[in-house]
Amino acid sequence: MRTWIRSLSPFDAPRTQAWLGRLADPREAERFIRLYHAENPGAGGPEARLREVAREIARTGTYTHTADELVFGARVAWRNSSRCIGRLYWRSLRVRDRRDVSTAEGVALECVAHLREATGGGRIRPTVTVLAPDAPARPGPRILNDQLIRYAAHRSRDGGVTGDPRNLWLTDLARTLGWRGSAGGRFDVLPVIIQPGLGDPLLCHLPGDAVLEVPLAHPDYGWFAELELRWHAVPAISDMCLEIGGVCYPCAPFNGWYMGTEIGARNLADHDRYDLLATVAERLGLDTSTERSLWRDHALVELNVAVLHSFERAGVTMTDHHTESRRFLTHLAKEEKAGRVCPADWSWIVPPMSGSATPVFHRYYDTSVLTPSFVHHR
């Protein structure tokens, strides 16, 4: 089989993942190498590198990115993320090259280090940690949590849930793997569940100094602090694959910083999450007997005011949806000026609160799918 692959023209070979597992797609490799050299003229022409990559794929079924290619590929993957409104600063992404780490224990240490470095004492730094890639007959490690920091969901005897209902399955899995949990609080941090390429999954318990949390208070309502709400500072996505030039890095946790509505209009407000609108409305004294009072809208605004106020008071980086909408259009204009397509998913780019009051609402976007990219595992 390997002899047959070597006999093919490297960049015209058909897709062979189904034959040998996770092989690097030669055509994707070529496209990426040409893109890298086109946007980095100081690296010279691509021909020598193309030949080198072709030989390596023919010999091993995959190839190794240079350090510069990895940094460029990770940053462009963020640039291509159609669901992210905060891409203006894609060039500032810090890339932690940890491709030599493949064991569950090593991944656990890197997850903790990632959070400590990305948190920056509250000055959140966009960061990605790239761990071992998939290769033929040698799968890379994976993280089963969708974010490094997630709050547990505790089932009660009456059928209710204390905590974040989104994470019921993750909490159950953690308990199956030996997590004893806590007394059943609303904001109990779950362990990170790491699945190595070979072997059993490992629970990584995050130390307290790696998880910065912000207690929520309202600038005008003292009672808001009595709700004892809080949220963590770093939204580190951890279950997506970083695909660069036909190579899949299945374990590449990455983060930017929060936009306030992600917490105030979704995590804390959604009916299938913390579902706090009725609680806030009641404390505000609003008429919840009729939808015409717009009590949900009023409570939603005050909840978001509390989130923005609390993060600012704590000195933790956060942006609001009006500012970030304007920044996204600045990014869009820059990409168009550079002659590049800027893909965007309208349903994700438009904020979940006051959408029509933001400039991103009133236009359509290119929906092309570009690579490199962050994608969900196939």
Cα–Cα distance for residue pair 237/251, rounded to 1 Å? 10
Cα–Cα distance for residue pair 208/13, rounded to 1 Å? 50
Cα–Cα distance for residue pair 9/28, rounded to 1 Å? 14
Given the residues 90, 179, 257, 295, the one annotated as active site = 257
Task: Report the binding-site residues.
Answer: 84
Task: Pick the closest to residue 322 from 348, 352, 357 (CA basis).
Answer: 357
Amino acid of residue 293: S
Dihedrals φ, ψ of 152, to 5°? Answer: -70, 160
**What six digits make up the tokens of 350?**
């438009």
Contacts of 131 (CB under 8 A, 6+ apart): 98, 99, 101, 102, 106, 107, 110, 140, 141, 249, 251, 252
**What six digits make up the tokens of 287?**
């008429």
State yes or no: is 117 an active-site residue: no
Q: Are 86 and 319 in contact (CB under 8 A)?
A: yes
Task: Report the binding-site residues for heme.
Answer: 84
Contacts of 192 (CB under 8 A, 6+ apart): 108, 111, 143, 145, 148, 203, 204, 206, 238
H or E segment and range at residue 215: strand 213-215
Q: Are 327 and 338 in contact (CB under 8 A)?
A: no
Given the residues 30, 69, 78, 84, the one annotated as active site = 84
Cα–Cα distance for residue pair 350/265, rounded to 1 Å? 13
Helices assigned H by DSSP within the chain? 2-6, 17-20, 26-39, 47-60, 67-79, 104-119, 168-176, 260-261, 277-284, 295-314, 321-337, 346-349
Would you call 315 exposed, middle or buried from its count of C-beta atoms within 10 A (0-12, 13-18, 19+)? Answer: exposed
Given the residues 28, 243, 262, 324, the one annotated as active site = 262
State yes or no: is 157 an active-site residue: no
Q: Are 311 and 258 in contact (CB under 8 A)?
A: yes
State yes or no: is 204 an active-site residue: no
Given the residues 75, 79, 87, 142, the one annotated as active site = 87
Cα–Cα distance for residue pair 277/267, rounded to 1 Å? 11
Dihedrals φ, ψ of 138, to 5°? Answer: -145, 80
State yes or no: is 262 an active-site residue: yes
Annotated active-site positions, please? 84, 87, 257, 262
